Amino acid sequence: MNPLPLPCNCDEIALVTNPFNIGSVPVGRGQLFLIAGPCVIESEQHARTMADAIQRIASDLGIPYIFKASYDKANRTSIKSFRGPGLIEGTRILRTIAQNNGLPVLTDVHTAEDCAPVAESVDVLQIPAFLCRQTDLLFTAAQAANQYGRAINVKKGQFVAPLDMRHAVEKIRESGCDRVSLTERGASFGYNNLVVDMRSLPIMRSFAPVIFDGTHSVQTPSAGNGVSGGQPEFIPVLARAATAAGIDGIFLEVHDNPSQAKSDGANALHLNHLKAVLEQLLAVHKAVTPTGA
């Protein structure tokens, strides 16, 4: 078997090319940043409570923070699953949090039609993993992001090789938006399991800033019952490994009561564990970051 072809010498990757800022959050400039929040907006009060709590922890640790939550979970396994408040109410809630807390906010877009109204309200449009090859969605998201000065975060599909994510980046940049990042969230391996190949991080980092999704990477897809499972005990392990491999940001779905979460509770990180996990990641990041980076 031939070795995996690398786009560059990964030992020489210290800082990613094409860095940018999302508000006050530096992306690809050598400082680890956090994207965190509940999977879906369960209510305005809950979203605000989570944003406040996570922001306090991030501020205490000095880690730049972007709040995330989805207004519509269009890719739920079961038609009966909770999807969120919808586009109009959801983007209003996200914009309110951004204004009240002084935070950048991120949310998913599933259709080209949603891109422009979402870009009016949020700082980062996220392309879900299952849609990372959808040219029309990438093109429209890029145009909307460019019009409103926003950024795009593309999650690597579970079915896509890391080298092939360069095409998603090229589609977005050639459509007018240079502020693009990539997120690793595991690869499909057989049935009902995901595996993270740490080689994907430096490979994709040669195309754009890279984020590691520590919570979806421990998700176990539905075993026929319409509900995804998870192994949250492995979140700290994989997150530390990814940080050591070299990432720009860490993505964590965080909930104050995962067992009662309306989406992805089985793989969410409990709010009570967030500070300890971030302290570990910051220590690892400091140890592997070149002096002066």
Residue type for 161, please? A
**Are the beta carbons of 57 and 276 closer than 8 angstroms?**
no
Q: Which domain holds residue 194?
A: 27-95+152-162+180-288
**Cβ-count burial of 147 within 10 angstroms (0-12 exposed, 13-18 middle, 19+ buried)?**
middle
Give pLDDT tens digits for 219-249: 876 655 556 677 889 999 999 999 999 999 9
Q: Is 64 helix (H, G, I), strand (E, B) or coil?
A: coil
* Cα gap 90→51, rounded to integer Å: 14
Structural domain includes residue 232: yes
The distance in angstroms from the start CA to the end CA of the chain is 36
Does residue 231 belong to any structural domain of this protein?
Answer: yes
Asked whether residue 111 is domain-assigned, the answer is no
Number of domains in the chain: 1
Q: For residue 127, is it within any domain?
A: no
CATH of the domain at 219: 3.20.20.70
For the record, the structure tokens of 147 come out as 């019009």
What percentage of the chain has pLDDT greater than the value 90? 77
Within a domain: 43:
yes
Q: So what's the pLDDT on residue 7?
A: 52
Chain-wide mean pLDDT for the chain? Answer: 91
Each residue of 164-179: pLDDT tens digit? 999 999 999 999 999 9
Nearest Cα residue to 129 out of 190, 182, 92, 170: 182
**259-275 pLDDT tens trace:** 998 987 888 999 999 99
Residue 33: beta bridge partners? 249
In a domain, 115, yes or no: no
Residue 18 inside a domain? The answer is no
- Asked whether residue 113 is assigned to any structural domain, the reply reads no
